[in-house]
Each structure stands twice: as C-alpha cells, then as structure tokens.
Amino acid sequence: MWIAGLHITSRDLTMLKVFSDSTRDPRRHTASVLLSACVSDAAGLAAGDDAEQITVQPLDSIPALQLAFKDHRDMLNYYLNHGPATEC
C-alpha cells in the first residue's frame, strides 16, 4: 500500500490501538486505527488527496502542532506514552 508517498507493506505495520468517538465527525461515527511503521528514508513523502501538506516533525514539537481533530491529539499522546514495543 502507498501511504503519503511511501510503499509500506502490512508486515511493516504494528497496530497500537483503535479509537472510536461518535462525536468526532458530525457527518458520521468514525473509528480510527493507530498504526506504527518504521521509515528509514522520508525523501519520498508526499501529501495525498486527503492532505494539503506533509512534514516530518521531531517528537518534542508534537504538543504544539495544530491538528484537524481532537482524537488526533489523543492518538499522538497515546503513541508518545505507549509507542511501539520495538525500536526502528
């Protein structure tokens, strides 16, 4: 599968948690799956049809980022506190 211009296989992904909030999106109930993958070369990153831009940010800048939805902050906080069990 292609994600943000990177070719990632299911073997590269680790599922961390499923988030579900019926109030997240007024159009419908949405569930989000938090996945983690190691990326060794971010040179191919490119925004897709669902994003205006994409950037690589250091972990310590994450708290100040403006995010589209509240649960995106919840997902980032979960990752920072419980992140993947293995290092890249």
Residue 54 belongs to a domain: yes
Residue 88 belongs to a domain: no
Q: For residue range 30-68, what is the model confidence (pLDDT) as tens digits? A: 888 998 887 777 777 777 776 777 777 787 787 777 777
CB neighbours of 81 closer than 8 A, spacing ≥ 6? none
Residue 52 belongs to a domain: yes
Structural domain that includes position 66: 2-82
Mark residue 58 as left, alpha or beta (left: phi above 0; alpha: psi -120 to 50; beta: remaining): beta
pLDDT for res 85: 65
Q: For residue range 7-38, what is the model confidence (pLDDT) as tens digits? A: 777 788 889 999 988 887 788 888 889 988 87
pLDDT for res 1: 47
Residue 87 belongs to a domain: no
Residue positions counted in the chain: 88
How many alpha carbons lie under 13 Å from residue 73 in its C-beta half-sphere? 9
Residue 19 belongs to a domain: yes
Residue 74 belongs to a domain: yes
Residue 76 belongs to a domain: yes
Domain count, the chain: 1
Residue 21 belongs to a domain: yes
